[in-house]
Chains A and B, each alone.
Chain A
Amino acid sequence: TAGITQAPTSQILAAGRSMTLRCTQDMRHNAMYWYRQDLGLGLRLIHYSNTAGTTGKGEVPDGYSVSRANTDDFPLTLASAVPSQTSVYFCASSETTGANVLTFGAGSRLTVL
């Protein structure tokens, strides 16, 4: 069972460049989420999608965009990366928006220099 697949696992990016983090799930979950995890801070929600075709802004959406063209895929794009976007990014999904269990991907470690 694959669950959620994230790519790349890690990436070093020059400031000002664009980058898309990929996220694919095979559980047919309706809701998907992007979080960033920084040392000393809790997971912070960047963007979410309650169902295919809809997206919403989380706590820290600036500098990021998402799309949800179908149920399985939820890519996160950084249009022009800045060093403060250095973080570990986790994609997650749940059966529905109010479901009790989130399933997380393995994470993508991004370093912006």
Chain B
Amino acid sequence: GQNIDQPTEMTATEGAIVQINCTYQTSGFNGLFWYQQHAGEAPTFLSYNVLDGLEEKGRFSSFLSRSKGYSYLLLKELQMKDSASYLCAVRDSNYQLIWGAGTKLIIKP
């Protein structure tokens, strides 16, 4: 079966750095996505990785290792507004998105 695993919840301190991990087992691979979802709101696109390595976009970076079936989202200089759920998704060989359950990130002052 297809599976996306990510931690249920993480806590971090304002101004710090946090790494949210995602491991996947899917039928084929056509890209990995990270979305941010604030409570009660719609998911919004953060990043896309299809090749191994690090993609940096401001305070957020996303890393992919296809051989390990592993990705992480790195958030630097955490702000209170970063409190949200972070969803990992993989596009499989049929170009369907398989979604993880999300990681709820709690930022403390």
Interface residues of A, CB < 8 Å — how many?
19
- B48 at interface by CB-CB < 8 Å: yes
The interface bits of chain A over 89-113 (1 if a CB of B lies within 8 angstroms of the residue's CB, else 0) are: 0100000011011111111000000
Query: Shortest Cβ distance from B103 into chain A, in angstroms?
Result: 11
Contacts of A12 in B (CB 8 A): none
Measured in the bound complex, the distance between the Cα atoms of B100 and A42 in whole Å is: 5
Interface residues on chain B, size class: 20 to 34
Which residues of the partner chain B approach A44 to less than 8 Å between Cβ atoms? 99
CA distance A104 to B43 in the complex (A): 6
Q: How many A-B residue pairs have CB under 8 A?
A: 46
Contact flag A43-B99 (CB < 8 Å), given A100-B31, A100-B33, A100-B48: yes
Q: Cα distance A100–B48 when bound, in Å?
A: 7
Q: Which residue of A lies closest to B99 (CB)?
A: A42
Cβ contacts A to B, 24 pairs, < 8 Å: A41-B101, A42-B87, A42-B89, A42-B101, A43-B43, A43-B97, A43-B99, A90-B43, A97-B95, A98-B30, A100-B31, A100-B33, A100-B45, A101-B45, A101-B48, A102-B35, A102-B43, A102-B97, A103-B45, A104-B42, A104-B43, A105-B42, A107-B40, A107-B42
